[in-house]
Amino acid sequence: MKKIGILTSGGDCQGLNAAIRGVAKGLYEEIDDVEIYGIQNGYAGLIHGDYKKMNQSDFSGILTIGGTILGTSRQPFKMMRVIEDENSIDKVAAMKDNYKKMGLDCLVILGGNGTHKTANLLSEEGLNVVTMPKTIDNDVWGTEMTFGFQSAVDIATEVIDCIHTTATSHGRIFIVEVMGHKVGWLNLYAGIAGGADIILLPEIPYDINEIAKVIEKREQAGKRFSILAVAEGAISKEEAKMKKKELKALRASMPYPSISYKIAKELEEVTGHEIRVTVPGHFQRGGSPCAYDRFLCTRFGAAAARLIKNEQYGFMVALQNEKIVPVPLGEVAGKLKKVPVDSDIIEAAKEIGISFGD
């Protein structure tokens, strides 16, 4: 008999249920006697011993459903070992304790960057861990693609498409703010797919005057509208020179709900045009996974089950060169996969006249 725990951690995304289903089906199929335990609400459930035994039927009919049937929570890595007062607990010790109490043979963890730091820590502490990379940000190191990303790209692209029709009708300048605080993959893909004229990424600091010049050039060429796809984490050239703490304080004191409104205000001043801002926000993480994500999650799930069957622990399943491969957790944890500024995607975008505001 093998006992396997599954948890989903961090911000949700499309495909979590498809991946849960994939690994569960693989386990039931590949291992003769297996029990699966659903740990509730991410690492919080493992810390507090909140879990339930799942039935095979719990994994049916969930392929197309958004969110996660297990619930999730954000569990910052830096909080893990902090013992501040008598009410605080050693979270790592609590997780190890509950893993043992449950009699688990392996813990399957679905998550992004923060989640992988903790997964690696648990693996180093001796727990058998297998992970799957999820996030709409596509910033997990070691895999070319995370699940959730393509679904979010589809949604953000549709937002830009819709904004295009109203922008062209009115001859207006629009900003669409796309999720991604630290990396710009989602905005890069959606911006290109949606035909944005200017794409601002956290990886390429912008200059407001350069953006104004692009808009002016478009006007001179008879284009009455412009669309800017702005990543949540877009940063100006001046801000890029600041220390992290300084920038954080500046952003916290900003009298705008998000960076796009600041850029809109500055652009209004420089260009003299009214700028409209659209922020789809968490809409980008909601709803059904697209076909590609269902496909990827199913492959990831089957690969995770195979690793467990073969008792190969301490790995994340990853997509590399069209193949699903195991990557050691130690190689994944603590790294961020940013958009390389010399990426051929950026080069191609520039070649067709898209500006990055630099």
User: Nearest residue to ligand F6P, using CB?
Assistant: 179
**The one catalytic residue among 137, 139, 154, 293:** 137
> Between 218 and 285, whose beta carbon lies closer to ligand F6P?
285
Q: Does 181 bind ligand F6P (CB under 6 A)?
A: yes
91 binds ligand F6P (CB under 6 A): no
Binding mask 2-21 for ligand F6P (x = CB under 6 A): ---------x----------
Looking at 123, 135, 146, 355, which residue binds ligand F6P (CB under 6 A)? Answer: 135
* 113 known ligand binder: yes
Q: What is the footprint of ligand F6P within residues 222-241 (CB under 6 A)?
A: 232
| Only segment of 45-53, 84-92, 94-102, 130-138 that touches ligand F6P (CB under 6 A) | 130-138
Q: In what order do the strands lie in the sheet with 226-231?
A: 198-200, 226-231, 173-178, 275-278
299 is in an annotated binding site: no
Q: Is the distance from CB of 301 to CB of 26 less than 8 angstroms?
A: yes
Q: Does 146 bind ligand F6P (CB under 6 A)?
A: no
Give me the least distance between CB of 109 and ligand F6P, in Å please: 16
Q: How many residues in the shown chain lie near ligand F6P by CB under 6 A?
A: 11
Select the span of 97-105, 179-187, 312-320, 339-347 touching ligand F6P (CB under 6 A).
Answer: 179-187
CB of 301 to ligand F6P, least distance (A): 21
Residue 137, marked binder: yes
137 is catalytic: yes
Interface residue with ligand F6P, options 137, 197, 203, 293 (CB under 6 A):
137
Is 283 among the annotated ligand-binding positions? yes
**Annotated binding residues, as ranges?**
11, 74-75, 112-115, 135-137, 172, 179-181, 232, 276, 282-285
Q: Among all residues, which ones are annotated catalytic?
A: 137
Binding residues for ligand F6P (CB under 6 A): 11, 74, 112, 135-137, 179-181, 232, 285
